[in-house]
């Protein structure tokens, strides 16, 4: 690999001045994917406050797709059309926005398998699953007894569970959630929860199996163990003093917060043995059915919850420097890395020392009956002078860790052998998460690292007060990191995942089979198209094929009717969707995949003749794919004609 020059140390400041790595043309060739060629990796970037997931090819940084999850998407009608609206249903009603932070790929044998992508909605607590055959959101489960679903979602190593933790503690008691509670009662009544969604091995369907009630801290981030620590998942927490001080240690611990260590295997065993109590809880479980292309939303009424005092050995606390952020476990499963935003060192805890401390009951006290281990007795090492503001850490397959430094705007490489810093590279600017393909698994790649930066400033042509956030691809294959590429991102990416293209590409769906289309209003041939009026409701059974919509002239609709256009795309060819839109309709368009049926609801508010047309340029006669709907006054009884 040719040597690149990295930028000088003096550039290592988030000043907004014109800076940059000095790059040779080697960087260009390292990321160049020739026309017609494919990228080596799929990467899935969280969209943050856009509520979406963006799919980029790496190393090129080419945007391949935007997948709407928690947001309505005018581009394909997700959340606007009748098929997908139920996906955004919650116990609060229809909530078509969220703050999506963390994508995690499904796993098999401690490695990503490319089947599904799990993501969290922070604001109205939800976990979603994207099917990587179709790149569509197929399931959303609301998380009850939660608020600010930030430390989520974490699939266990063989996809047994997807685990979600609450950021804000909530007033939940062993009897259920309280509604109207004085905030003065925080200490007594507020608790955190950790939720375990069981994942169906074959189909990926998630079911909220049980929750664990945990002390009323604020839980920030988590990650699961690997190898020897596979049965465990670790959560960072802050504001821990709100929940009460340590019984025996008291105020001396106030410079520390806690890492909550959860033995999820044991918790699952307790739950299976019936130790969990069932409490009332209201939450939505929404699923997309691929055969009918229709989502359904079911409201659930209760959840099972485990109380720590009834479940010994399930939870332990480890003190960590105040206000920790990320917790990341190295590929060996032994080193637990805590990134404390304000800490001057990066503490690394040892899983084996933790096991010894538990065996020897080497505790310094307890919180709500949960034993607190001694910081020193579980500490493996402290990484000294890592930089300022460590947030997150990922790993390569060669014994190195890479930490993002928000304040000093750099990626710092350090060794898991001697815990010493080996290299650092400035990033532009204020990095949040970083990601190495497989960097959170047992088998990381050691080629690329993606930095996701919060502030862009002078890196791109100015676009007013707001600039797209900046992704930077870094070559980590050699001893020294090398900057390769800047590219703009969507929304505010927090975390990302990436996987070798061959784990996904061969399984990607090319169309829906028209034969298998079980949509109740599917029209499989043009001869079957019709318009049916029943009271105030009009159902239009429409087909779309290059280059016409059938029927294309419709009469008999009246102002205030509920008109449903069920449009079936008769094409059986890859990448030939058709679109559908009506003048003045309150929705976005439909974008109908080959072989599928989508439904568009229109309630005309005035009389007139309303054109409709296909919105997705599909053939030389695309402009001819159009028609008219006549809307007559209410009660005029113009007969249905088409
Ligand atoms: Cu650090 Cu939400 Cu993962 Cu943002 S969190 S950076």
- One domain for residues 493 and 556: no
User: Which residues lie with the beta carbon below 6 Å from any ligand 1 atom?
Assistant: 101-102, 150, 221, 325, 391-392, 432-433, 494-495
Q: Mutation test of ligand 1: which of 236, 495, 497 has the most ligand atoms closer than 8 Å to its C-beta?
A: 495
**Is 642 within a domain?**
no
Q: How many CA atoms lie within 13 A of 133 on its CB side?
A: 9
The enclosing domain of 180 has a CATH number of: 2.130.10.10
**Is 611 within a domain?**
yes
**Is 593 within a domain?**
yes
Cα separation of 621 and 573, whole Å? 17
Cα separation of 288 and 296, whole Å? 6
- One domain for residues 485 and 533: no
- One domain for residues 469 and 541: no
**H/E element holding 57?**
strand 52-58
What is the token pair recorded at 164?
């979600």
Q: Ligand 1 center to residue 99 CA distance, Å? A: 11
Cα separation of 325 and 410, whole Å? 17
Q: Ligand 1 center to residue 496 CA distance, Å? A: 10
**Is 396 within a domain?**
yes
**Are the CB atoms for 299 and 307 separated by under 8 Å?**
no
Q: Ligand 1 center to residue 325 CA distance, Å? A: 8
- Atom number, ligand 1, closest to the C-alpha of residue 326: 1
- Atom number, ligand 1, closest to the C-alpha of residue 495: 3
Report the nearest-CA residue for atom 4 of ligand 1.
Answer: 494
Report the nearest-CA residue for atom 3 of ligand 1.
Answer: 494
Q: Ligand 1 center to residue 392 CA distance, Å? A: 8
**H/E element holding 377?**
helix 375-378
Q: Mutation test of ligand 1: which of 392, 404, 491 has the most ligand atoms closer than 8 Å to its C-beta?
A: 392
**Is 425 within a domain?**
yes
Q: Ligand 1 center to residue 50 CA distance, Å? A: 14
Q: Ligand 1 center to residue 571 CA distance, Å? A: 42
- One domain for residues 239 and 144: yes
pLDDT along the chain (642 residues), means of 10: 39 41 75 97 98 98 98 97 98 98 96 97 98 98 97 97 96 93 91 97 97 95 97 95 60 74 98 97 97 97 96 96 95 96 93 98 92 95 96 97 97 98 97 98 96 95 95 97 96 97 97 97 98 98 97 98 98 96 94 97 98 94 94 96 96
**Is 515 within a domain?**
no
Report DSSP state, residue 268: H
- Atom number, ligand 1, closest to the C-alpha of residue 221: 3
Q: Mutation test of ligand 1: which of 119, 337, 433 has the most ligand atoms closer than 8 Å to its C-beta?
A: 433
- Atom number, ligand 1, closest to the C-alpha of residue 454: 6
Q: Ligand 1 center to residue 517 CA distance, Å? A: 40
- Atom number, ligand 1, closest to the C-alpha of residue 325: 1
Q: Tell me, what's the pLDDT at 615?
A: 95
Q: Which residue has the tokens 């489960």?
A: 141
Q: Ligand 1 center to residue 394 CA distance, Å? A: 14
Q: Ligand 1 center to residue 492 CA distance, Å? A: 10
Side-by-side strand order, sheet with 608-613: 553-558, 626-632, 608-613, 578-582, 590-592
- Atom number, ligand 1, closest to the C-alpha of residue 101: 2
- Atom number, ligand 1, closest to the C-alpha of residue 150: 2
- Atom number, ligand 1, closest to the C-alpha of residue 392: 1
Q: Ligand 1 center to residue 494 CA distance, Å? A: 5
- One domain for residues 601 and 465: no
List, in order, residues 6 or more apart from 76 with CB less than 8 Å away. 68, 591
- Atom number, ligand 1, closest to the C-alpha of residue 452: 6
Q: Ligand 1 center to residue 385 CA distance, Å? A: 22
Looking at the structure of the chain, the number of domains it has is 2
Report the nearest-CA residue for atom 2 of ligand 1.
Answer: 101
Q: Mutation test of ligand 1: which of 491, 494, 496, 497 has the most ligand atoms closer than 8 Å to its C-beta?
A: 494
The enclosing domain of 616 has a CATH number of: 2.60.40.420
Q: Ligand 1 center to residue 46 CA distance, Å? A: 10
- Atom number, ligand 1, closest to the C-alpha of residue 433: 6
Report the nearest-CA residue for atom 5 of ligand 1.
Answer: 494
Given 474, 507, 540, the domain boundary residue is 507
Report the nearest-CA residue for atom 6 of ligand 1.
Answer: 432
- One domain for residues 528 and 559: yes
- One domain for residues 503 and 526: no
Q: Ligand 1 center to residue 101 CA distance, Å? A: 6
- One domain for residues 133 and 202: yes
Q: Which domain holds residue 558?
A: 521-632
- One domain for residues 527 and 495: no
- One domain for residues 199 and 114: yes
List, in order, residues 6 or more apart from 127 with CB less than 8 Å away. 118, 119, 120, 121, 140, 141, 143, 149, 152, 153, 162, 164, 197, 206
Q: Tell me, what's the pLDDT at 245?
A: 56
- One domain for residues 437 and 315: yes
Q: Ligand 1 center to residue 7 CA distance, Å? A: 26
Cα separation of 277 and 213, whole Å? 11
- One domain for residues 432 and 558: no
Given 480, 507, 534, the domain boundary residue is 507
Q: Tell me, what's the pLDDT at 368?
A: 87
**Are the CB atoms for 374 and 357 separated by under 8 Å?**
yes
Q: Tell me, what's the pLDDT at 241?
A: 83
Cα separation of 518 and 509, whole Å? 17
**Is 8 within a domain?**
no
The 3-state DSSP class for residue 382 equals strand
**Is 5 within a domain?**
no
Q: Ligand 1 center to residue 326 CA distance, Å? A: 8
Chain centre to alpha carbon of residue 579: 28
């Amino acid at each position: 690999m040719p040597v690149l020059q990295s930028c000088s140390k003096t550039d290592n400041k988030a000043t907004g001045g014109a800076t940059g790595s000095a790059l040779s043309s080697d960087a260009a060739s390292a990321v160049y994917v020739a026309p017609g060629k494919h990228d080596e990796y799929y990467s899935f970037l969280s969209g943050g406050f856009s509520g979406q997931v963006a799919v980029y090819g790496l190393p090129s940084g080419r945007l391949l797709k935007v997948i709407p999850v928690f947001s309505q998407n005018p581009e394909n009608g997700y959340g606007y059309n009748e098929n997908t609206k139920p996906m955004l249903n919650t116990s609060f009603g229809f909530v078509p926005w969220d703050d999506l932070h963390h994508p995690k790929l499904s796993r098999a044998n401690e490695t990503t398998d490319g089947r599904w992508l799990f993501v969290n909605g922070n604001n109205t607590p939800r976990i979603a699953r994207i099917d990587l055959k179709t790149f569509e959101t197929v399931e959303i489960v609301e998380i009850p007894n939660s608020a600010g679903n930030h430390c989520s979602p974490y699939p266990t190593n063989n996809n047994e569970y997807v685990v979600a933790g609450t950021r804000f503690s909530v007033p939940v008691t062993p009897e259920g959630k309280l509604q109207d509670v004085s905030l003065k009662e925080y200490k007594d009544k507020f608790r955190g929860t950790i939720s375990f969604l069981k994942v169906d091995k074959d189909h990926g369907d998630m079911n909220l199996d049980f929750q664990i009630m945990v002390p009323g801290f604020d839980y920030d981030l988590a990650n699961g163990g690997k190898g020897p620590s596979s049965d465990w998942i670790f959560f960072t927490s802050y504001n821990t003093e709100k929940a009460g001080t340590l019984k025996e240690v008291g105020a001396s611990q106030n410079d520390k917060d806690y890492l909550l260590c959860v033995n999820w295997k044991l918790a699952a065993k307790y739950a299976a043995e019936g130790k969990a109590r069932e409490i009332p809880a209201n939450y939505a479980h929404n699923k997309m059915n691929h055969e009918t292309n229709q989502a359904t939303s079911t409201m659930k009424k209760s959840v099972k919850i485990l109380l720590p005092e009834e479940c010994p050995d399930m939870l332990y606390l480890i003190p960590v420097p105040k206000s920790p952020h990320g917790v990341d476990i190295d590929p060996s499963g032994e080193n637990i890395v805590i990134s404390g935003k304000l800490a001057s060192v990066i503490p690394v805890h040892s899983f084996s020392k933790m096991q010894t401390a538990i065996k020897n009951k080497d505790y310094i006290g307890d919180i709500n009956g949960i034993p607190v281990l001694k910081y020193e007795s579980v500490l493996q090492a402290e990484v000294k002078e890592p930089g300022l503001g460590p947030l997150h850490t990922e790993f390569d397959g060669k014994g190195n860790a890479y930490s993002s430094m928000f304040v000093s705007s750099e990626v710092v490489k350090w060794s898991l052998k001697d815990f010493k810093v080996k290299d650092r590279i400035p990033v532009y600017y204020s990095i949040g998460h970083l990601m190495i393909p497989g960097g959170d698994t047992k088998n990381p790649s050691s080629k690329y690292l993606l930095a996701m930066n919060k502030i862009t400033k002078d890196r791109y042509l100015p676009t007013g007060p707001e600039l797209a956030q900046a992704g930077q691809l870094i070559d980590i294959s050699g001893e020294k990191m090398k900057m390769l590429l800047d590219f703009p991102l969507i929304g505010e990416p927090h975390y990302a995942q990436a996987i070798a293209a061959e784990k996904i590409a061969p399984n990607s769906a090319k169309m829906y089979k028209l034969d298998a289309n079980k949509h109740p209003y599917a029209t499989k041939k043009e001869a079957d198209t019709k318009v049916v009026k029943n009271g105030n409701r009009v159902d239009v059974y429409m087909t779309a094929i290059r280059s016409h919509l059938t029927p294309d002239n419709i009469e008999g609709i009246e102002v205030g009717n509920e008109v449903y256009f069920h449009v079936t795309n008769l094409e059986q060819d890859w990448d030939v969707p058709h679109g559908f839109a009506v003048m003045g309709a309150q929705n976005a368009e439909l974008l109908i995949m080959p072989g599928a049926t989508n439904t568009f609801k229109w309630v005309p508010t005035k009389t007139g003749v309303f054109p409709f047309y296909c919105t997705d340029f599909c053939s030389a006669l695309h402009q001819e794919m159009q028609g008219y709907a006549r809307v007559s006054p209410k009660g005029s009884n113009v007969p249905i004609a088409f």
